[in-house]
């Protein structure tokens, strides 16, 4: 979980995302596929192909890009 986030909207990217992508690459996905600004204060969530991992990308206050990965059993 990302504490200290400036919460706006929450976006869940449709389809599978390669979990090997860096957070810079995920920022590119946000811009290209979602048409959004990764520094907007919104939270962007990406799911792995087999639905066992999540990557979250967001901006905290003060403005610093924060990211985390979690591995629950299954979504």
- % of the chain residues with pLDDT over 70: 69
pLDDT of residue 26: 87
The strand pairing partners of 44, in sequence order, are 11, 57
Predicted confidence (pLDDT) per residue in 24-58, tens digit: 888 898 999 889 988 888 888 888 888 888 888 88
pTM for the whole thing? 0.73
* Residue-level pLDDT at 38: 85
- Looking at the DSSP assignment, which residues form a beta bridge with residue 55? 46, 69
Mean pLDDT of the chain: 77
**Residue 71 pLDDT class (50, 70, 90 cuts):** low
Short-list 40, 46, 31, CA closest to 60: 40
pLDDT of residue 65: 55
């Amino acid at each position: 979980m990302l504490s200290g986030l400036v919460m706006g909207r929450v976006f869940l990217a449709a389809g599978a995302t390669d979990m090997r992508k860096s957070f810079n690459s995920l920022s590119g996905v946000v811009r290209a596929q979602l048409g959004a600004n990764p520094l907007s204060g919104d939270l962007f969530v990406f799911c792995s192909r087999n639905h066992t991992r999540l990557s979250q990308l967001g901006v905290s206050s003060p403005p610093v890009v924060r990211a985390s990965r979690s591995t629950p059993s299954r979504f």
